[in-house]
Amino acid sequence: MDALPTITPDYVDVTIPPQIAPLRFQLADYEPGVEALAVLKCGEKNMVTRADRKGNFLFDEEDWKELKEDNSHPIALMQCREFLAQHPKMKVVEAEDTALSAEIIKRENLKGHAAICSKAAAERYGMKVLQEGIETNKHNFTRFLVVADPWQVDEIRRHPHPETNKASMVFTLPHTEGSLSQVLSILSFYSINLTKIQSLPIIGREWEYQFYVDVVFDNLLRYKQSIAAITPLTKELKILGEYADGKSNI
């Protein structure tokens, strides 16, 4: 999310911020940021970064015997659940950020505290490597979204990527029986595959939700037809981006 506020109406360059969490632990508060800032997705990239390779680090003069507390972002703690289960006596404390955990330990000289973070953060703050590769899923990766000002996206769309096969959208539905089922049935009829669906309650509108959906498709025309078909069933529908499915470097 940190990169999104830097995009203003007169900022036309393409920005590539990481999604707030790797795919297994996606949080729905990134998509509203894209929507609220009036930027559109125009691509994505799935990559293994140094931040995806978690390790346990603490002060150089300390070792496992002195370790009493592990600090990190909640997502990083979830990603290292099996490792933490092997150390039940260690207190687990949630923090705002993985690298910030290391910085605070260093700045406040917190003895017996360790940070689960990337090796780059440990090196920056002079931390000792206790154990590397403690993430449960060794194939974890981060999804980077390519976002841009709508004017820039319009220019990009004049020369669409020939492999466009994915779209992100947000819609709201009436609070009636089967409203979501009808939309999903139509998407299925047009051979549109959902890769993500998340909902957020709309503040001030009881029992109404926004649905954030990613879909992939083999036929662009069929995709366009499916959007035309579901639009009358929704109260609001906005396409957040149409782009080529991100390749992975795993």
Which of the following is catalytic: 15, 49, 136, 142?
142
- If we measure between CA atoms, which residue out of 137, 138, 93, 149 comes closest to residue 116? 93
Q: Are 141 and 22 in contact (CB under 8 A)?
A: yes
Phi then psi for residue 116, to 5 deg, are: -90, 115
Is residue 142 part of the annotated active site? The answer reads: yes
Is residue 211 part of the annotated active site? The answer reads: no
CA distance 100 to 98: 5
Which of the following is catalytic: 57, 83, 141, 144?
144
The residue length of the chain stands at 250
Query: Dihedral of CA 233/236/241/245: which sign?
Result: negative
| Residue type (1 letter), 188 | S
End-to-end CA distance of the chain: 24
Number of CB atoms found within 10 A of residue 207's CB: 7
Sheet holding 55-59, edge to edge: 91-94, 69-72, 113-117, 55-59, 127-132
Please list the active-site residues.
Answer: 142, 144
